[in-house]
Structure 1
Amino acid sequence: MTAAVVLDIGKTNVKLALIGADGHQRAERRRPNTVLRDGPYPHHDTEGIWQWMLATLAAFSSMATVDAIVPVTHGATAALVGDEGLVLPVLDYEHEPAAPLAHYLAVRPGYADTCSPRLPAGLNLGRQLAWQAQAFPAEFSRARHILMYPQYWAWRLSGVAAGEATSLGCHTDLWQPAGQQYSAMVDTLGWRVLMPPMRRAWDTLGPIRPELAAITGLPRGCRIVCGIHDSNASLLRHLDGAAGAEAPAVLSTGTWVVAAAPGKSLDGLREEADMLANSSALGQCVPCMRFMGGREFAELAGTSPVPCDIPVLQRLVDQGTFALPGFAGAGGPFAGRAGSIAGPSPASDAERYALATLYCVLVSDYCLDALGAGAHVVVEGSFTANPFFAPLLAALRPGRQVTVTDDASGTTCGGWMLAHWGSAPAVRSTVAAPLLLDGWQQYRRRWLAQLG
């Protein structure tokens, strides 16, 4: 059996998936995406991931003939590499750089050019890099390449450095989505020489390095694919073959919930609402809006969530218990607001789960409306496991269709597509039947009214 391996690095977990040539997953391994605090700043455990990945690839090599590896990662992350590897640890984007903002703000392009809103902490990659260049000039000067995070892993596996638009276009300040080119900031700070040649997400960069093939038992001809930003991987299969028809809006759910509305105008984007334009793997500008939904759900539901039932959801609606944003402090349409509970507090673990569900549905619906999402929304990712999320969302969008994919990781499917470019697996999905709680529409209106 031949298979591809997708390396899927989310903000919370790292996953390796072995996927057969028919698109079906054969095996999966996971580990936490640990942030280390033993260096100059909080940083990702790249060496821990690397050693775990090599061991897992060795295990996978006994299950199938692995002919391709595709890296898929979260955004807002880059690696500075020199002749010997990393010159600085890979910064965790939730870290708030201590340096004054004046230098960064002076060179940061305007929102009209980049559709990249100003974000807290290191969520703008341009701010991360500007701070690293100022705070660690000797180390920064040794960098040969600035690699987006998927391409860092592709480089470690193949030895070939590449750039790619989906990660560059993810609120970095470094990219002009409309022109599909670097922003002025790259040249102002003299970084163009550090930017490797641009490649497409599905391009093969080269074979796996021979020494890695020997360590893992993988074939020496195993292809290393350039890779892609995770939300764009989820979006990819809904773009493929959509010519002549309106592509659906896609709600990619996980630590981040990202609403993407391909084909919609950029004219309605507003920086103060934390709206942005991503670049798809096909070079399209895609209006997007997102919030840290998985993190907020966990804050509301607790670390050991207890699923609820419909009567519990109905009770919270009836008694007017509301979760008002926000609970993550990491951007989104309600950035800067402190989360609070209005009305009677949830009295049990099941009620906390119900409140978290209601909250994430309401914010998702808010984002979709702000983007002008059309008649069809597809829900991808971890929230597909919540039996009430999509039905409640469908009930707020009468006359329109909400469908749910049958896998919990559209990122993995998108990664498989890159390894088999030109072969799009059928999108297996079901239409969500609206969950018509009594007073659900009125509950939404009351929630919106409390936002001011």
Structure 2
Amino acid sequence: MIPCIAIFDIGKTHKKILLFDQRYQIIKEEEVSIEATVDDDGDKGEDLEALTNWIRATWRSLEADQRYDVLAVNFTAYGASLVHLNDAGEAVTPLYNYLKPFPENLEKQFYNTYGDRLTLSAQTASPPLGMLNAGLQLYWLKYQKPALFRQIRHSLHLPQYVAYLFTGELTTEYTSLGCHTALWDFQKKDYHAWVYAEGFDKLLPPLRHYYRPLETTFRSGKILAGLGLHDSSAALIPYLKQYRKPFLLFSMGTWGITLNPFARQPLSTTDLQHDCLQYLTFRGNPVKASRKFIGDVHEKQVKRFAEYYGKPLDYYKSVQYDESLTNAGLLQGLGSAQKQGQALGSDTVVSAVSLEVDLALHDTYEAAYHQLIEQLIQQLLDSLNLAAEGDTGYFKLLLVEGGFSRNQVFMSLLRRVFPDLKIKARKEAQGTALGAALALNVWPY
């Protein structure tokens, strides 16, 4: 039998079970989609019963498979989702979708009671996002569904609910708390005063550190079990394990997110207004994160380019970097401004992306595409500067993961902007699941 670590990776759309061997290579991966159900308000959401049944059935199947010897198991899941249990340990509410609308009158009541929304947001590193602030889901239940609320004895973040299914232990951990929940006071390193005022601290299980793992049973023996992790925070762990010196991470997908796991300054209201947040690592340290809606804009532009120049939709993938097609002055200016710690575009909303590529000025697709990437980088630098707290000189390494890490034009222009930074493209397979495996410290990495 192959010794391995099992990871349950619970995404909004896809649920996965992955096995990692002693070299942290994936040796088995299965994926399912679970059809959504409707909650007691008629809104679509996760089918908690079906999810629970799939997890239990998958574990039984793994126990029966004599090819694998599972030595440890961990869990990652999406954030902003709570499972509420009664005295018998059974779920008493649906798993409410964080996209449900939050009642305006209740939002007004909350901020009238607990103060200025931007101040509260800065203290909890949580922009006012309604149900996306998991703590406000408890507030909503208390005042909108009091009969249901009175049945609740324990409220678990979704990753910790999955861990509970295996261990029977009720826990809270940092990555789920730090996921824009509005529960955690980042300065005091404790629940925010409003959580105590509402009595929610009594529903949330004790905070447990990752150096105190849990146990579960595999076949007839005891094995190590993790506490569960918020998925986005888990994806950062492989980098924290590998690099000791301060680094920045560009995670480039639909959103272009800059992560700084070496934040030294508290979140400001200005940061929040520019879509810059803080998360917590699995060790409880702050991660400053700033984002731009970059991937969606790129996708729309390359469709436009393809139509205009009569090229295939994915033609951009074949475009080679050509320095003669770049605006050297613009890029040099951007790099120098960043090195001096000057905020760029401080009067704009960071997540908003505004592009002006006049195709009539460019004879070729290649020339237009270089201009597009220049403009995207220009706006990403606003975001990077916020995450870096205005001091890119503090960092020696910039890691780039996601689709743009394979984009030659993007990577080449980025290296021109930051000649003093070592820039590396990272292509970790299943980084979220890998992070969850590494958090257990079963084998060296």
CA-CA distance at 1:150 after TM superposition: 0.9
Tell me the secondary structure at the aligned position of residue 420 of structure 1. coil
Tell me the secondary structure at the aligned position of residue 86 of structure 1. coil
Q: Which TM-score applies when normalising by structure 1?
A: 0.74
CA-CA distance at 1:383 after TM superposition: 5.2
CA-CA distance at 1:92 after TM superposition: 1.9
CA RMSD across the alignment: 3.9
Moved more, 42-51 or 148-157: 42-51
CA-CA distance at 1:27 after TM superposition: 1.4
Q: Indicate if the aligned counterparts of 2:292 and 2:351 stay in contact, CA closer than 8 A.
A: no
Tell me the secondary structure at the aligned position of residue 222 of structure 1. strand
Q: Measure the CA separation in 2 of the matches of 1:11 and 1:361.
A: 30
Q: What fraction of aligned residue pairs are identical, expressed as a percent?
A: 23
- Quote the residue 2:423 is aligned against: 402
Moved more, 363-372 or 132-141: 363-372
- Quote the residue 1:329 is aligned against: none
Structure 1 stretches lacking a partner, 5+ long:
319-332, 426-452
Q: Measure the CA separation in 2 of the matches of 1:196 and 1:105.
A: 26
Q: Indicate if the aligned counterparts of 2:370 and 2:409 stay in contact, CA closer than 8 A.
A: no
Moved more, 384-393 or 335-344: 335-344
Q: Indicate if the aligned counterparts of 1:151 and 1:227 stay in contact, CA closer than 8 A.
A: yes
- Quote the residue 1:433 is aligned against: none
1:370 partner amino acid: L
- Max radius of gyration: which structure? 2
CA-CA distance at 1:251 after TM superposition: 2.8
Structure 2 stretches lacking a partner, 5+ long:
304-311, 327-347
Answer 1 or 2: which has greater helix percent.
2
Correspondence 1:64 to 2:68: yes
Q: Given the alignment, which residue of 72, 93, 118 partners 1:88?
A: 93
> Are residues 95 and 17 of structure 1, via their aligned partners in 2, closer, same or farther at CA, if it must alter by over 3 Å?
same
CA-CA distance at 1:21 after TM superposition: 2.3
- Quote the residue 2:9 is aligned against: 8
1:75 partner amino acid: G
Mapping 1:112-191, distance limit 5 Å: 114-191=123-200
Moved more, 265-274 or 21-30: 265-274
Q: Indicate if the aligned counterparts of 2:319 and 2:409 stay in contact, CA closer than 8 A.
A: no
> Are residues 158 and 255 of structure 1, via their aligned partners in 2, closer, same or farther at CA, if it must alter by over 3 Å?
farther
Mapping 1:180-259, distance limit 5 Å: 180-201=189-210, 203-208=212-217, 218-240=219-241, 246-254=245-253, 257-259=256-258
Q: Measure the CA separation in 2 of the matches of 1:296 and 1:123.
A: 24
> Are residues 26 and 344 of structure 1, via their aligned partners in 2, closer, same or farther at CA, if it must alter by over 3 Å?
same
Moved more, 141-150 or 405-414: 405-414
- Quote the residue 2:264 is aligned against: 265
Correspondence 1:45 to 2:61: no
1:93 partner amino acid: Y
Q: Measure the CA separation in 2 of the matches of 1:169 and 1:207.
A: 26
Correspondence 1:19 to 2:20: yes
- Quote the residue 2:316 is aligned against: 308
> Are residues 389 and 57 of structure 1, via their aligned partners in 2, closer, same or farther at CA, if it must alter by over 3 Å?
farther
- Quote the residue 2:283 is aligned against: 282
CA-CA distance at 1:381 after TM superposition: 4.7
1:123 partner amino acid: L
- Quote the residue 1:328 is aligned against: none
Tell me the secondary structure at the aligned position of residue 419 of structure 1. coil
> Are residues 310 and 285 of structure 1, via their aligned partners in 2, closer, same or farther at CA, if it must alter by over 3 Å?
same
CA-to-partner distance for each residue in 1:294-343, whole Å, 9 max, x for gaps?
666667678x97362354998xx89xxxxxxxxxxxxxx84796988764
CA-to-partner distance for each residue in 1:376-423, whole Å, 9 max, x for gaps?
1112356556666544544443332221223233212211112225x5
- Quote the residue 2:399 is aligned against: 378
Q: Which TM-score applies when normalising by structure 2?
A: 0.75
Q: Indicate if the aligned counterparts of 2:9 and 2:17 stay in contact, CA closer than 8 A.
A: yes
CA-CA distance at 1:37 after TM superposition: 3.5
Aligned length, in residue pairs? 399
Q: Measure the CA separation in 1 of the matches of 2:220 and 2:374.
A: 48
